[in-house]
Amino acid sequence: MTPVTTFAGRTVAVFGLARSGLAACRALLAGGAAVVAADDAAQGRDAAAAAGVPVQDLRAADWSRFAALVLAPGVPLTHPEPHWTVAEARAAGVEIIGDIELFCRERARSCSDAPFVAITGTNGKSTTTALIAHILRSAGRDAQMGGNIGTAILDLAPPAKTRVHVVEMSSFQIELTPSLAPTVGVLLNVSPDHLDRHGTMEHYADLKARLVAHAEHPVVGEDDEECRDIAERLRLANRSWVDLVSARARVSHGWYAVGTELVARAPWTGPLGAFADLAGIGSLRGRHNIQNALAASAAALILGIAPGEVAAALRTFPGLPHRLEEIGRQGRTLFINDSKATNADSAATALAAFPGDIFWILGGKPKQGGIATLEAFFPRIAKAYLIGEASQEFAATLEGKAAFARCGTLDAAVAAAAREAAASGAAEPVVLLSPACASYDQYPNFEVRGDAFRALVAALPGIALRP
């Protein structure tokens, strides 16, 4: 745990009592603050009470006594409309922050030079975060990983000069972290997402830009227009330079790829040339993972990890569940779980990772824009298997462009895809779950959906599961 001492002797309201909210309560109490916790859901209130955290109805509270409102990232700050606690806090002049802001203030107070890597992006941030932590740990460093992935940041060990915090951040968390200034800030990419919470694409991109705005070493992807604009704004703001990572083309300085080879050209180190090759690394297949690996390597090299150690760690990265996860093989057929692909851009990276003979399982609760942007990949699809609420919309998009079947449910889709892939005669057919949709119509989250796919594949006759 990281005790939060910056509010010692004062009272802090905490709203939203899931993982990060409860961690914030414990950290504030450990640092000497008084806490008043609340949640709209009885489950959250019960969890806080069981943990010994004082729970109160904030509607009846005297807001003038609160030094801050710590808001869970899932609670709307602006769109579609501010949560009622936000209105109460603003009316009382109470600042509204998140749990990562508490960490940043504690770091600034107790150990301002403690290494801190923050990672964001519409896609790829979890893989990149896990990969940075893996490289650091492989090199013998104490890497504390958390934030939007795994452990809440305040449940990690405190900042220290010999300890690196590797923290994934969503746009919601960035919005609640005004003093964010990491040692290394990584912005991978920006594409439309969460616009119901941020209103416009411009506002969403500006939030993502905050992560690198005050980073000591900003690392920005160069493969989309929004990130190129953000990098240019940083340069115009007289930053010494912005290290770029590009899976598409060479850049004047920073990190880029030639095929599967990773190349570093950074003025502050001199040209390193090609330092690693991703060929044959199944956990890092696909062009999108080239960018992820470049960004992770950049962060590690900036933190002093030797190029040879970076290359060795890349080869041993196990990957993350539900992100182009290889489940196993049934004869020639490869089964891939990419349940994390909850939008079309994410599904595009999965479709781009295989040259053809894809038996694609997709659908769920559709997002704005559907799958029309994926049409360039339709020639790679042997057949599509539609599930969930999006079936009718996706069928209309695929009509006349790719074979498809309305399966309705995941179990029916897996059975049909496995049967038809085996009968296809292709050298290596791929049954790919990459839904391009949220899961909420049939599953509580993408993890449960991916676990269901894994279980269905594991039950197939003759399946050889990946260790």
Q: What pLDDT, in 10s, does the model give residues 425-448?
A: 999 999 999 999 999 999 999 999
CA distance 112 to 117: 13
**pLDDT tens by residue, 263-278:** 887 655 555 678 999 9
Please give the full DSSP string across 405-430, using - where no structure is assigned.
EEEESHHHHHHHHHHHHHTS--SS-E
Share of residues in the chain with pLDDT > 70 (%): 95
Residue 286 has pLDDT above 90, yes or no: no
Domain finish residue from 40, 69, 97 = 97
Residue 223 has pLDDT above 60, yes or no: yes
Is 43 in the same domain as 125?
Answer: no
Q: Average pLDDT for residues 51-58, to the nearest whole number? A: 91
Domain around 433: 325-465
Is 85 in the same domain as 154?
Answer: no
Number of structural domains (the chain) is: 3
Give the pLDDT of residue 273: 78
Residue 379 has pLDDT above 90, yes or no: yes
Is 296 in the same domain as 330?
Answer: no
**pLDDT tens by residue, 298-350:** 999 999 999 999 999 999 999 999 999 999 999 999 999 999 999 898 899 89
Is 371 in the same domain as 249?
Answer: no
Is 451 in the same domain as 387?
Answer: yes
Is 76 in the same domain as 143?
Answer: no
Distance between start and end Cα atoms, the chain: 33
**pLDDT tens by residue, 158-204:** 999 999 999 999 999 999 999 999 999 999 999 866 666 766 888 88
Please give the full DSSP string across 305-333, using - where no structure is assigned.
--HHHHHHHHHT----TTSSEEEEEETTE
Q: Average pLDDT for residues 136-163, to the nearest whole number? A: 97
Mean pLDDT of the chain: 93
Is 121 in the same domain as 227?
Answer: yes
| Alpha-carbon torsion (362, 365, 371, 374), positive or negative | negative
| Contact (CB, 8 A) for 173 and 101 | no
- Kindly report each contact of residues 30-35 with a partner whose C-beta sits within 8 Å and lies 24 or more positions away, as own/partner: 30/1, 30/3, 30/4, 31/3, 31/4, 31/5, 31/6, 31/7, 31/106, 32/5, 32/7, 32/8, 33/4, 33/7, 33/8, 33/9, 33/67, 34/10, 35/11
Is 76 in the same domain as 211?
Answer: no
pLDDT-derived band of residue 91, with 50, 70 and 90 as boundaries? very high
**pLDDT tens by residue, 249-258:** 666 667 888 8
**pLDDT tens by residue, 350-367:** 999 999 999 999 999 998
Give the pLDDT of residue 221: 92
Residue 161 located in a structural domain: yes
CATH code, 160 = 3.40.1190.10
Neighbour count for residue 65 (Cβ, 10 Å)? 13
- The tokens describing 409, both together, are 């449910």
Return phi, psi of residue 430, to 5°: -120, 120
Residue 3 located in a structural domain: no
CA distance 35 to 312: 46
| Contact (CB, 8 A) for 318 and 151 | no
Give the pLDDT of residue 237: 83
Task: Tell the burial category of 80 from Cβ atoms under 10 Å away from its Cβ (0-12, 13-18, 19+).
Answer: exposed
Give the pLDDT of residue 274: 86
Tell me which residue of 419, 422, 410 sits closest to 453, measured CA to CA. 410
Is 406 in the same domain as 434?
Answer: yes
**pLDDT tens by residue, 392-414:** 999 999 999 999 999 999 999 99
Pairing of strands 381-387, 358-363: parallel
Return phi, psi of residue 98, to 5°: -120, 180
Give the pLDDT of residue 282: 86
- The tokens describing 250, both together, are 């060479």
* Alpha carbons within 13 A on the beta-carbon side of 364: 28
Four-CA torsion 206, 208, 210, 211, nearest 10 degrees: -170
| Contact (CB, 8 A) for 320 and 148 | no
| Contact (CB, 8 A) for 70 and 13 | yes
